[in-house]
Amino acid sequence: MSLMALIFDVDGTLAETEEAHRKAFNDTFAHAGVGWHWSREDYRWLLRTTGGKERIRRYLVESGSACPGDDAIALLHRRKTVRYAEIVAGGELSLRPGVRELVAQARLAGLSLAVATTTNRPNVDTLCELLWGCPAGNVFDVIAAGDEVVAKKPAPDVYELALARLGMEPGDAVAFEDSRNGLLSARKAGLRTVVTPSSYTQGEDFSGADWFLPDLRSESLPKELRMTLAHAALPSAE
């Protein structure tokens, strides 16, 4: 198995962040006095649409609410990003099982590490500051965020951007995802894909995934990936 890089989704893959996002949206809506509130089931359905601003627009269309316009939606989303950072700073989130060890093992093995996410860069930095104690750029070699591409997942754009920044071909990397949209995005980019469903994506259609795992702990990883990581970590004979 040729492997030079691991590319991670963020929300739901590195950590169970979606409930924090939902709370941030609802707190922002309440502060703005718009009268909107997203239940867990509402948000589970809205997650089929990638991107925070896009979810707001989808909600407005489906609920028949008056749309305040793109500028107002963008302002709400910026405020939501600030509120999300406040919630994350509260320290309630943790990495999903196996993530910290896998990242450390990959780094030891000399693999490149990347992020390909629908969320924006500030949210990635906020999460890494909490969970690793440093900016995202200190954990990952490459970060490709949703606000840097024209089309978000399930389009392949963000994975293609990550690969371009890595200077690699799809066959050089493996993607890690938790959602159907993420899986479709990675596969369209030509990447082998590991899926570990999150609490919000359990039960989605993950046909087409190369590996379907409960988590990223070493004992859960497929044999070929464990062997590749172990082999890459061995010192070369001279």
Query: Tokens 């320290």 map to which residue?
Result: 91
9 catalytic, yes or no?
A: yes
Q: What is the rounded CA–CA span in Å between residue 176 and residue 106?
A: 13
Distances (CA, A) of 76 to 4, 30, 43, 127, 131: 39, 11, 17, 20, 26
Tokens of 57: 């627009």
Q: Residue type for 28, please?
A: T
**Nearest residue to 3 via CA among 205, 202, 175:** 175
Q: Which helix (H) or strand (E) holds 228?
A: helix 223-233
- Listed in sequence order, the residues at least 6 apart from 84 whose beta carbon sits closer than 8 Å to its beta carbon are 20, 21, 24, 123, 126
71 catalytic, yes or no?
A: no
For residue 7, list its beta bridge partners: 114, 175
Q: What is the rounded CA–CA span in Å between residue 213 and residue 111?
A: 21
Given 11, 42, 125, 178, the catalytic residue? 11
DSSP conformation letters of 95-157: BPTTHHHHHHHHHHTT-EEEEE-SS-HHHHHHHHHHHTSS-HHHH-SEEE-GGGSSS-TTSSH
Catalytic residues: 9, 11
